[in-house]
Amino acid sequence: MLVGYIRNAEPRWKYCRWPVSIIGTIEEVYGAEEVIFRFIYEYLKLNPNDYFWVADYDWVYSWEDMQKLKSLPYDADWCYKNPKN
């Protein structure tokens, strides 16, 4: 699995439905879901206008999504589920 973070910007990624551009990626998430969760949470806390995208899935994680997930009991499958559901 690949995770990338995305900044609010003009559309540059032709397959993306959001007005964003990809800034970076994290590979090999399997087995490190909790560390990745903590990293994304802390990153978005400092950069609330950015988004994280999980490759192979059609959604992004916003600061609001991560706040909601953090308020719930930890779910190791958080990155495999649409945060809007």
CA-to-CA separations, 56 to 25, 46, 67, in angstroms, rounded:
13, 26, 23
pLDDT at 7 over 50: yes
In a domain, 74, yes or no: yes
Our count of domains for the chain comes to: 1
The pTM is what?
Answer: 0.72
- Give the per-residue pLDDT at 32: 84
Q: What is the domain extent for residue 47?
A: 2-80
In a domain, 85, yes or no: no
pLDDT tens string 20-73: 544 445 666 778 889 989 988 998 898 888 888 777 777 788 889 999 999 999
10 Å Cβ neighbour count for 81? 13
Where are the extended beta strands (E) located within the chain? 2-8, 20-27, 51-54, 60-61
Residue 72 is which amino acid? Answer: L
pLDDT at 74 over 90: yes
In a domain, 34, yes or no: yes
Question: 51, 61 in Cβ contact below 8 A?
Answer: yes
